[in-house]
Structure 1
């Protein structure tokens, strides 16, 4: 088993843009090779704060699975395939970019609060396919790990992604609580 590397928030790459502040677990902003900096299947892991009326303007993606978990606030999503919606705190969206999609994500001006999201990118099992957008609630209740997103057969995640080797788990731990996994495959952690 490989050694787990913990990257505290203060040690992450920090980047500030107009209305957006991001903490990146792997280098992402600028000219970085996502595959070279990946953590296994995980290409990107950002913890973002988005000011009201700000966000990410229209941009293009192809052949990537993007999981956006809204921790607090809300994000409005719309894309070139005609999908749109609001993802609120406690919900997750998964977007399969497939053969190509242009989209944007914004914290609506009307919210008056900063939105916090965790965004993770995964490679798809195979290139191409139609773009797809899914949203679901993430029932984080303090009892342990919750499977947020996965494409592994036999699993029941909040949202399915097109990657049969990935499982993204989440848990809410009390401040200062130790965390360790005894059995990674079953998700039994204390």
Structure 2
């Protein structure tokens, strides 16, 4: 049998061919991940190439709200949005993931790694929109810090099976229930990962 079968439903094989570079994908921590920075995390990859990789953890909300971290934000509902911990590197910058600002405004450094998810490193571009009406349909995630990999480092971790890879999507990046994102991503992967999502443990099929 080529594929694991769960409740009579065939599931995809565990091994699959991935693109050489994974920009726009989600790295979902294996259930065996012990690094406290990444245990049960989902990391959205903003960039991945021969020079390394950079991503943002999307499911680690802090206890700090945006209004307490950003000066002169104004009286806007966005003041109460929680800031997320995007990773262990440079936790003194506020980055933004969003679905698109009015008029398509963005800085030259902005990245749309996958459709509907735009990374904006320049908060000053986003702040005026947050202080105006008309952003009711905007989804945004505010983060401090990021995760980074040196050239070849992520490839080593992937070969070691530290991460499960799935395509990134606005649905997961901007989930209203961030603490459920890790399990939701594993369920989306399917197969034996469905069991890991439900139990926190991935059984061996060897």
Whether TM exceeds 0.5 here: the answer is no
Greater share of residues in strand: 1
Greater share of residues in helix: 2
Higher relative contact order, structure no. (Cα contacts within 8 Å, ≥ 6 residues apart): 2
* Structure with bigger gyration radius: 2
User: Under a length normalisation based on structure 2, what TM-score does the superposition of the two structures give?
Assistant: 0.30
User: Under a length normalisation based on structure 1, what TM-score does the superposition of the two structures give?
Assistant: 0.31
